[in-house]
Amino acid sequence: MRERILALVDELKRRKADGDELVYVAPESIAALRTAVRAKQGAGAAQADAAPSRRLADAAPAIDRQAPAVLPVADEPAFEMKPYRKPAPAVVVEQGPALPEPPSFTVPEGDKRMRWEWLRDRVLNCPVCKANLNPGKQIVFGNGNIDADIFFCGEAPGADEETQGIPFVGKAGQLLIKIISAMGLSREQVYIGNIMNWRPQTGQATGNRPPTEEEMAFCLPYLMAQVEVVRPKVIVALGNTAVTGLMGPDKNRRLGKIRGQWFDFKGTPLMPTYHPSYVLQYGSNAVKRQIWEDMLTVMERVGLPISEKQQGYFR
Ligand code: URA
């Protein structure tokens, strides 16, 4: 019962994060939530409205999470998750640092490796990127196989990435690598980059914040140039920020509605899906299955073989 309630709460939070404001919750589920709230707060606490259609903000009670929020799965899971741990809330900034116009440059003609190294050198020496680094930290440029068919694009470096100077080496990165290996690939066979080359500063010792539109616009030419050099068959945009960075801002766009469909990024097919950190946070089986379905679509598009076992993950 406890796991089902946690799964329901995760699903409600996921739908809320996707922008749904109202959702139908079956009376049995509300009764189960009430019981959980009573158990936590005492019999007097549960005086919620009995109407089956509820505001999402009201429908997710605080429940201690000592157990992992993982549903039993029928088939073998493709990628396992660590027990849920609430992340530090994202820091919201009204305005980021003032930035100059986005850089304008042309990658010289020539050998692919030479072009990639020229670009990497240019980014690692970008004065604006350097000026926006946290003290003692590093610029993070894309890495992996420059002949890759699949280009994974994330948001921005986190604490681990800015320390090591490599994208996706923290917890979200470990999950991304598990997803990649469930696809039958290794990190060395794909290319991994980010919208941002630096970790957006928060002015605090901990916590992340999403990049501002201006920050994303500044870094976009560097990402576009990586796509131009690598020439992948597809780009996988991981999460809302990557989608916004690549497709442009749109307040009405909902990742939950557009994921799994193909879009175009300057001639390269683009697949939006959830960010691995979203799976770590709202890791219901439904979310894992959705990401996995998106990856199956990507595999099909680039001509990777798909086994029956892979088809069955999270079914
Ligand atoms: N999240 C991202 O989007 N990128 C990273 O490099 C790490 C975490």
Nearest atom in ligand 1 to the alpha carbon of residue 242 is 3
Asked if residue 79 belongs to a domain, the reply is no
Which residues are within 8 A (CB) of 130 and not within 5 positions of it... i.e. 6 or more apart? Answer: 139
Domain count, the chain: 2
Structure confidence at residue 53 (pLDDT): 40
Claim to verify: residue 140 and residue 279 sit in the same structural domain: yes
- Domain of residue 59 covers 2-72
Reported as a pLDDT band with limits 50, 70 and 90, residue 1 is low
Q: Which of 137, 141, 155 to mutate to test the pocket of ligand 1 (most atoms within 8 A of CB)?
A: 155
Distance 169 CA to ligand 1 centre (A): 8
Distance 306 CA to ligand 1 centre (A): 27
Claim to verify: residue 142 and residue 273 sit in the same structural domain: yes
Over range 238-246, report the average pLDDT: 97
Claim to verify: residue 6 and residue 143 sit in the same structural domain: no
How many angstroms separate the CA atoms of 193 and 140, rounded?
9
Structure confidence at residue 88 (pLDDT): 64
Among the residue ranges 56-60, 235-239, 271-275, the one predicted with the least confidence is 56-60
Distance 140 CA to ligand 1 centre (A): 10
Nearest to 65 by CA among 23, 34, 30, 36: 36
Claim to verify: residue 38 and residue 139 sit in the same structural domain: no
Claim to verify: residue 280 and residue 176 sit in the same structural domain: yes
Percent of residues, the chain, with pLDDT higher than 70: 73
Distance 166 CA to ligand 1 centre (A): 9
Structure confidence at residue 193 (pLDDT): 98
Question: Which CATH number do you get for residue 130?
Answer: 3.40.470.10
Asked if residue 302 belongs to a domain, the reply is yes
Asked if residue 105 belongs to a domain, the reply is no
Reported as a pLDDT band with limits 50, 70 and 90, residue 291 is very high
Among the residue ranges 126-135, 196-205, 232-241, the one predicted with the least confidence is 196-205
Reported as a pLDDT band with limits 50, 70 and 90, residue 82 is low
Q: Is the Cβ atom of 194 under 6 angstroms away from ligand 1?
A: yes
Nearest atom in ligand 1 to the alpha carbon of residue 154 is 3
Claim to verify: residue 194 and residue 307 sit in the same structural domain: yes
Claim to verify: residue 160 and residue 39 sit in the same structural domain: no
> Cα 300 to chain center, whole Å?
21
- Which tens digits make up the pLDDT trace of 132-166? 999 999 999 999 999 999 999 999 999 999 999 99
Backbone angles phi, psi at 20, to 5 degrees: -75, 130
Q: Is the Cβ atom of 61 under 6 angstroms away from ligand 1?
A: no
Distance 177 CA to ligand 1 centre (A): 12
Asked if residue 239 belongs to a domain, the reply is yes
- Which tens digits make up the pLDDT trace of 162-204? 999 999 999 999 999 999 999 999 999 999 999 999 999 998 7
SS3 at position 207: coil
Asked if residue 77 belongs to a domain, the reply is no
Structure confidence at residue 3 (pLDDT): 65
Q: Which of 44, 72, 100 is the last residue of a domain?
A: 72
Q: Is the Cβ atom of 210 under 6 angstroms away from ligand 1?
A: no
